[in-house]
Structure 1
Amino acid sequence: MANYTELNVYKATYGLLFDLLSASKSFNRDFKYTLGENLKNEMIDAMMFIWRANSTYNKVDYIDKARESIEKCRLYIRLLYDLRQISIENFTKWNIAIQNISKQLAGWNKIQNTVANEKTENT
């Protein structure tokens, strides 16, 4: 089991969280404590699900939960853009980061499902 802080998906998620925290300072007050807080909490949840997936035998459930959190973040980012709280540059950069994280989680999920199926067939 690799140290979770060395996982590329963890590093990418942390990098996005860091960017979001920096940018949330400039959100209007109406959105800073609603959408901004929800977005930060979902990102932290995603990081915790990645940690749990790396720390347990049954990874698929936690990977699925991380993927769900990331999709919620995609929605929050879209709302922030539509409400003119973030620039097109940040919207684009963050969506690329979310796509990268999502692909890594999907790949990890696929590998775990393959391993689980092989173990089932061998027993």
Structure 2
Amino acid sequence: MALYDLLPVYKVSYDLLLQLYHISKNMERDYKFTLGEKIKNESTELIINIYKANTKEDKIDLLEKAKTNIEVIRLLIRVYKDLKQISLKDFISVSEKIENTSKQINAWYTQQKKIKAST
């Protein structure tokens, strides 16, 4: 088991969480405590699921949860953009982190499915 904070997927998802916290500070009040809290909670759950998956032998369920987290974050960031609560520059940066995290989680998930199938 690798240390969770050395995992590339953990690092990029942590950077994503920090960026989402910074962005939510500048949101209009109407959205800050609804949409802003939802995306921060979802990002926190993502990191927790990555940590838990790294510590468990059977990772598939937790990786499925992480995949769901990343899709919810992707949806909410699009809502941010459509409501004009995020700059285009920040939207692109966040989208790149989301995509990077998603690819790593999917690769990890695929690897775990193959391992489970071979046993």
Q: Which amino acid aligns with 1:37?
A: E
Structure 2, unmatched stretches of 5+, are none
- Measured in 1, the distance between the counterparts of 2:26 and 2:48 equals 26
Question: Which structure ranks higher in relative contact order (CA pairs < 8 Å, sequence separation ≥ 6)?
Answer: 2
TM-superposed CA distance for 1:92, in Å, is 1.1
Distance 1:89 1:43 in 2: 20
SS of alignment partner, residue 21 of structure 1: helix
Q: Which residue of 2 aligns with 1:91?
A: 91
Deviation at 1:22, TM superposition (A): 1.1
Distance apart, 1:96 and its partner CA: 1.0
The yes-or-no answer on 1:58 pairing with 2:58 is: yes
Corresponding residue for residue 28 of structure 1: 28
Q: 1:75-121 CA distances to partner (integer Å, 9 max, x unpaired)? A: 110001000000111111111110100000000001101111111xx
Residue 95 of structure 1 aligns to a residue whose secondary structure is helix
TM-score, reference length from structure 2: 0.98
Amino acid at match of 2:105: L
Shift of 1:73: 0.4
Q: Which has the larger radius of gyration?
A: 1
SS of alignment partner, residue 84 of structure 2: coil
The normalised TM-score by structure 1 is 0.95
4+ residue runs of structure 1 moved beyond 4 angstroms? Answer: none
- What CA distance in whole angstroms lies between the structure 2 residues aligned with 1:100 and 1:23? 19
Letter aligned with residue 62 of structure 1:
L
Amino acid at match of 1:5: D
Determine the C-alpha separation between the residues in 1 that align with 2:112 and 2:29.
42
- Work out whether 1:5 is the aligned partner of 2:5: yes
Runs (5+) with no aligned partner, structure 1: none
Q: Give, in whole Å, the separation in 2 of the partners of 1:5 and 1:96.
A: 20
Q: Percent identity?
A: 41
